[in-house]
Amino acid sequence: MPLELSPESPGKRMNGAMPFRVGLTGTVAAGKSTLACSLAERGATVIDSDELAREVVHPGSPAHARIRETFGSGVIGPDGAIDRSALRDAAFADEQARERLEEISHAGIRELRARRIAEAAAAGVRVIVEEIPLLFEVGLEDDYDMIVVVDAPREVREARALGSRGWTAQEFAAIDAAQLAAAEKRRRADRVLDNRGDPGELALAARELWREILRAADGDRS
């Protein structure tokens, strides 16, 4: 089965009045965003960390100015916005560069995420899915009622990254190596979705996962 269940408890929520929070993470190019879209179609409110990151570094923001100062004008596009491809190359050149980028952006991302969660709670949202590629790496795993990891064999993910994203093999290798190992992510997860197959298999796994999320959100651990 594509969906694997961890022997650990699937929920950490203590206050049933709050939305049920799902932390969605996984390996590079495994299909996190596709799964997030599928869960959104079923009723989840999705918070995408990549979208938050783009908002944090918009032209005129303090983070934008610090990125330009730190990495140079070469990471700024003709329209004044951050050139994400150029910034990715610069940030993944070495570990210190990546840490500098994280230090610049993560505080703003955390603030925006907290605001989105508060807005969702005020609106009576039942389930929030937060797509966070570096969930484990930045120490957020205790924030969630359920953690879902999407994974696929490395060769499958590399082919996707080079095909649909236009990355080079070197770019993929650098980003993949900078993240926690797939086996460790799987070990820490409450749910693991293996996305090595076709879109139909992912859709079926998403449907099964959504049912599991709703049962957990309602307090049904049976």
DSSP 46: E
Name the token pair of 128.
């929030």
Instruction: Give the amino acid at 65.
Output: A
Q: CA-to-CA distance for 104 and 112, rounded, in angstroms?
A: 14
CA angle 53, 81, 117 (to 5 degrees): 20
- Please determine, for residue 13, whether its predicted confidence score (pLDDT) is greater than 80: no
Q: What is the pLDDT of residue 76?
A: 94
Number of H helices, E strands in the chain: 9, 6
Q: What is the pLDDT of residue 15?
A: 47
- Please determine, for residue 219, whether its predicted confidence score (pLDDT) is greater than 90: no
Please report which confidence band the pLDDT of residue 106 belongs to, taking 50, 70 and 90 as the band edges: confident
- Please determine, for residue 1, whether its predicted confidence score (pLDDT) is greater than 50: no
What are 127's strand-pairing partners? Answer: 20
Q: What is the pLDDT of residue 126?
A: 95
Q: What is the pLDDT averaged over residues 171-178?
A: 91
- The model's pTM: 0.84
How does the average pLDDT of the chain come out, rounded? 89
The bridge status of strand 3-5 relative to strand 191-194 is antiparallel
For residue 126, the tally of other CB atoms under 10 A from its CB is 14
Please report which confidence band the pLDDT of residue 151 belongs to, taking 50, 70 and 90 as the band edges: very high
Instruction: Give the amino acid at 110.
Output: R
Give the model confidence (pLDDT) of 66-101 as tens digits.
999 999 999 999 999 999 889 988 888 778 888 888
DSSP 197: S
> Residue 171's closest CA among 101, 87, 102?
87
- Please determine, for residue 16, whether its predicted confidence score (pLDDT) is greater than 70: no
